[in-house]
Structure 1
Amino acid sequence: MTETEFEFLRFYLKQRSGLALTPEKRYLIESRLTPVCRRFGIATLTELVGTLRLARESAIGTAVVEAMTTNETFFFRDRAPFDLFRDVLLPQALAARAATRRLRIWCAAASTGQEPYSLAMLLSEAAARLAGWRIDLIGTDLSTEVLEKARLGLYNQFEVQRGLPVQLMLKHFEQVGEQWRISAALRQMVDFRPLNLLDRFDQLGTFDIVYCRNVLIYFDAPTKADVLGRIAAQLAPDGAVLLGAAETVIGITDALSPDPKHRGLYRHGAGKAALAPPALQSMPRLAMR
């Protein structure tokens, strides 16, 4: 692969997915796109680049983007964002949305579904308090391949053991051969949809809570600012955004501001309301069983 071909692929991936590859990541292109070449009967990366130049909107182009997308995820990843949901955000939302009895949650870059299903388990634990509520839990991802796996809710032994407490595995999963399928009740709680974070979000509606974790690290600063600004535009005035541990809005955008009490939690910038903290005083702790 020549330098010109590498630069073309960097530009192609940036335009199609927001992925900003640095020169030292050249090895990733070679290792991840070689299987794509074999899959489509393409002899070399040079030939692949030529094909992409001729037809950028194609099955091959989609395969290239999906191959370069990192889909690292697991149940209750980093734990703290889920404890925060259980102990802070959900109790606050139950108080703040008592009149409408509707809660909308978005997991952006949901990958194979472990993040939204983790939230679904916590919502299931709070089922008694949510009786009569409408809960919209939406998971989106660029890759149609990982979304299909998410909809199936079928995971191998390693995937269910990674981050998932054994009591929740036994409660919410059934063994299917050598794999484990999450219960139909939880699968029905999550609406998985294809969405490129570079595209418009307005068709999704307004959300009370947004999880956009461990995806912005792959974008450059202007793309991060653009995505965060558009997320803020879809966020309720008192809504909350959770980013990954290595991600921040500081120095990138003023559309969102860090919550002073909770690391990784962000609210609208100055002048917007926040969910009332006093609501916590009357809400019992939601415990995982």
Structure 2
Amino acid sequence: MISSPPIAVPLAPENFTYVCELLAREAAIVIEPGKEYLVETRLGTLASRRNFSCANALVAQLRTTPGFLTPLHREAIDALTTNETLFFRDGAPFDALRDHIIPQFRLNNPGRPFSLWSAASSTGQEAYSVAMLLAEHFPGLPTTLVGTDLCAAVVARARTGLYQQTEVSRGLPPSLLSKYFQPVKDGWQLVEDVRRRADFIELNLAKPWPILPRFHVVMLRNVMIYFDLETRRRILNQVKQVLEPGGYLCLGGAETTINLDPAFEPVPFGRATFYRVV
């Protein structure tokens, strides 16, 4: 049976407040007033999929279990988490890795594996972009690539390396598409040699982290802007614990460590700025 589209009913103020508090508590994500339409749209889609009449009905169900997270809570949090990503997003950070950071690492650490953490990897495009960059320019370099995300569904999808035509058309050079992807039904799949270079696990940056290895580069792009001030500072402090000495942190173009953690200093590489612990 095909579910009907949810009725377009504005989200009640008390339900919007509940959703904001849920995201703040479980993911430290701040939704500002005025974002009701975004919440209505995303929860409306979930409501339709789960056969609720509207987003308000879905939130009413969530509110029946105070203090206890159900699978439906998890689906709601996942629906409200921004998953925008594309291959080689913004370009300049990948140029910096290719032209400066990785060559510098090889010069200073002959024979050592290079490690990079894509800390908000969504469906995997960022981590796989690094994997293709390494395959193209540093084929003999041992590497450890880890991608993590809050959403279990996108982590599972990242592991498959499956992408639709619209996704491989955004940011991915045609030469890399033909070299590292195979056509499959409804899209493209990364070749196994690239897929096995990256490991993907579920990790909530706003909650206590599991024991992680140390990394030479941590890519934490376009996610800090969604956190409150206290969470940003706590995450930066934790990043310092997993960075190798001399390692680099990469943030989004609109993000910085300035006024958050004085231990980091900006290091420009062309059009990209990375951050290093002083």
TM-score by length of 1: 0.86
Secondary structure of the 1:75 match is coil
Q: Does 2:123 match 1:115?
A: no
Query: How many Å separate the matches in 2 of 1:261 and 1:9?
Result: 40
| In structure 2, distance between residues paired with 1:24 and 1:175 | 42
Contact 1:211 1:243 (8 Å CA) reproduced: yes
Cα displacement (A) at 1:127: 4.2
Letter in 1 for 2:119: A
**CA distances 1:227-247 after superposition (whole Å, capped 9, x unpaired):** 122112211121001111111
In 2 relative to 1, CA 255–7 (structure 1 residues): closer, same or farther, beyond 3 Å? farther
- Counterpart in the other structure of 1:40: 50
Residue equivalent to 2:69:
57
Q: Any conservation in 1 of the 2:88–2:126 contact (CA below 8 Å)?
A: yes
d(CA) in 2 for partners of 1:97 and 1:242? 20
Alignment partner of 1:92 out of 82, 104, 118: 104
Q: 1:205 aligns with which of 183, 208, 213?
A: 213
Aligned pair 1:155/2:166, yes or no?
A: no
Partner of 2:237: 229
Q: Which amino acid aligns with 1:206?
A: R
- In the alignment, structure 1 segments of 5+ residues that lack a partner are 271-289
Per-residue CA deviations over 1:250-285 (Å, capped at 9, x if unaligned) read: 1122242211555430011x3xxxxxxxxxxxxxxx
Query: What SS does the aligned partner of 1:105 have?
Result: strand
Contiguous gaps of at least 5 residues in structure 2: 1-10
| Inter-partner Cα distance in structure 1 for 2:47 and 2:229 | 31
For 1:50 and 1:157, the matched residues in 2 are separated by 37
Change (3 A) 1:192 1:7: same
Question: 1:44, CA displacement in angstroms?
Answer: 4.1
Query: How many Å separate the matches in 2 of 1:260 and 1:158?
Result: 32
The 2-side partners of 1:219 and 1:212 are apart by 12
Deviations 1:91-135 (A, max 9, x none): 111122225x122210011011110000001111234442xx3x1
Superposed displacement of residue 136, structure 1 = 1.0
Two-structure CA RMSD over aligned residues (Å)? 1.7
Whether contact under 8 Å (1:229, 1:255) holds in the other structure is no
Segment drifting more, 65-74 vs 195-204:
195-204
